[in-house]
Chains A and B, each alone.
Chain A
Amino acid sequence: MPEKVTARGLWKSYGEVRALKGISFSIEEGEIFGLLGPNGAGKTTAVEIIEGLRRADSGEVIIDGERVRPGLNPEMKQKMGVQLQEAQFYDKIKVWELLDLFGSYHRRALPVRELLELVGLEDKANSHVEKLSGGQKRRLSLAAALVNDPELVFLDEPTTGLDPQARRRLWDLIKEMKAQRRTVLLTTHYIEEAESLCDRVGIIDLGQMVALDTPENLIRNSGLESAVTLSYAGELDLDGLKALAAVRALKPSDRQRVRVESTDVNLFLRELFRRFDDVAIERLERPNLEDVFLALTGKELRE
């Protein structure tokens, strides 16, 4: 896949605060790329430099082979769609008026009706923006980001502050963007969001990229172990269990349960069911990105 966006060595300071300390990554065409990190990690700064809203102290951004210069970039802006964190629209504008107006700024615009159907706001076309719920506003801002049928979409914390149901609805919309062959850069501090949406995730902390890979690879390569809690009736051959492949440690929790830590849980389970038939899996603990993040930065992701 060709590279859609390349960021090289981005540095940015605000006075004494170093927001970015040499971030580099590239986004392939058609993928959903996530920047995952706690609040204040530098995600928004990085995205806004790529969008051309801020000037990096050093480093460069290349989109479709062209260097992004902050300021007027009309051709670049024609193919970008942007959702900003916590941006608000005019209170008194009607939903269709907003999309129609934003569309008029671009050479190419999707029909308002199509946009509204896409985000499920068909019946809100004539509502004033101030009358929309939080989730509806967020969907409208997605529609506004798609108004020019962009090749490249930037979503800054698209679901922060939404209830789980509204969040899932938005995830479906973002997944649809991939189906529409758009390239998406999103930032988030939600693990599930990064895991369920992103093809690749860059973990960012204190202005530095600490890891970058697919969510699966990040977990697999983290060296973190999975754990299986088994329950059994009667006696269990603990020594035989310990001898199975990929077992690292056993921790009996009570007389009917044992927690097995494994370096390769699939291999272990295959072995287990070949040798033992009277055990049941009670709980399966797999490390997630949160654990990876904790292991990499020594920090909890959530505030």
Chain B
Amino acid sequence: MRGRGLVFIKQVWVNLKLHFRDRMAVFWEFVFPLVLMFLFVLALGGEQGGVSLKVGLVDLDGSELSKALVAAFRETPVLQLEEGAEESLRAELEAGRLDGLVIIPQGLQASLGRGGSRIKLLLYGGMNPQFKGLIPAVVQQLLVEFNERIQPAPLGLVQETVAPSAKPTEEISYVDFALPSYLAMAVLATALLSGAIDLAFERKWKLLKLLGTMPLHPVTFFSARTVQQFIVTVLQGIVVVGLAITLLGAKLQGGYLALALLFTVGSLSFILMGFAIAAFSKTHEAAIGLAQIFYMPMVLLSGAFFPPGLMPAWLQPIMRVLPLRFFLDGFREITIRGAGLAEIGPNLGVLAGWGLICLLITFRFFKWATEA
């Protein structure tokens, strides 16, 4: 008479009530990201604010190497690329219609291996100072990745700033760029800070051990928890995106279906990551530590608040695999560039892969009780 379904629904409902009775959780998951978003958007996204990632590209070499490099630029989602002749692009740059101009010099391929093979980046001097580092960072990052593919000597970068002759015209506002960061911050707080740590405390309290003496199937337990946390993240999504659109003037270009799918896959994989952390950790202290170890770098390194290119080289490989990066990039592709489902396929794949790995870790390591 008491089916699995009823247990499941009751468990989800109780979990939700407990979640929202925890004021600290509500603070970190809703209040804190919203406050940060409002503070930064109001501080940075004012009248003269706005960041354009329009970059011109000139290929003076025309070699195999330079063509590969051009292809790499084309694949970089955050750059709106304009290819053409040096003269006209330079004029655009000076007029502020471009924020940067990348010049691949003649003889790039020929000089490879003899050192000094550098590409040139010209920057528009009139850009909002907050975003000055953004394009160099993106280009740096691109080069780091590109250099891994070519041997023997890596390409370098020379940078120059070009004095403005006019203000930029088209712009992506800061809120459009940063919205997914604040959303991700909220979702990660639910999945990692609450999710993993709550579970670890329930083990410490021997509550999980007690559940282990009851005819409750672990799959019921975990799926109810997953659904509960997912509901919380959906609420976060609605609140954060809703307020960003209504109060801060954020614009979403792309399709809501692609966005919803990306959000669902991302959110679930972060929730599973929380479970894996709790299952893997032997003590609650370890779980808190691990959750922080994943939360902080993901928030700081995944291009959420600082451009990834600004980070030191040894961190680059870590940043490239952290799943948040794929969530943020995918989100921006949709909302800024209007990308469709097909274009964010790889992002969905990586996120789902992380989720699957975390699920396997949870299955492998979870026990109701730890052997003392």
Contact = CB atoms under 8 A, between A and B. Distances in A.
B64 interface: no
Contacts of A86: 206
Nearest to A81: B213
Given A74-B215, A86-B206, A105 B7 contact: yes
Nearest to A109: B2
Interface residues of B, number: 28
Contact of B11 (A53, A101, A154): A101
B216 interface: yes
A78 interface: yes
B21 interface: yes
B48 to A, nearest CB: 47
B214 A105 contact: yes
B280 to A, nearest CB: 20
Contacts of B17: 97
A86 B211 CA distance: 14
B213 A51 contact: yes
Interface in A181-236: none
A52 interface: yes
Which of A14, A90, A102 has the most chain B CB atoms inside 10 A of its CB? A90
A77 B10 contact: no
Contact of A92 (B18, B209, B371): B18
B18 A72 contact: no
Given A14-B372, A53-B369, A107 B1 contact: yes
B22 interface: yes
Which of B7, B17, B18, B213 has the most chain A CB atoms inside 10 A of its CB? B213
Interface string B16-49: 0110011000000000000000000000000000
Contact of A87 (B11, B14, B21, B205): B205
Contacts of B371: 14, 54
B206 A104 contact: no
Interface in B196-212: 202, 205-207, 209-212
Which of A48, A72, A105 has the most chain B CB atoms inside 10 A of its CB? A105
Contacts of A97: 14, 17
Interface string A85-103: 1111110110001001110
16 contacts: A53-B369, A75-B215, A77-B214, A84-B209, A84-B210, A84-B213, A89-B205, A89-B207, A90-B18, A93-B18, A97-B17, A101-B11, A104-B6, A104-B7, A106-B2, A128-B21
Interface of B: 1-2, 6-7, 10-11, 14, 17-18, 21-22, 202, 205-207, 209-217, 368-369, 371-372
Nearest first, the 4 A-B pairs at minimum CB distance are A88-B205, A87-B206, A92-B21, A82-B213
Interface of A: 14, 48, 51-54, 72, 74-75, 77-78, 80, 82, 84-90, 92-93, 97, 100-102, 104-107, 109, 128, 144, 148, 154
Given A88-B205, A106-B2, 8 more contacts: A14-B372, A53-B213, A54-B371, A75-B215, A86-B206, A92-B21, A107-B1, A109-B2
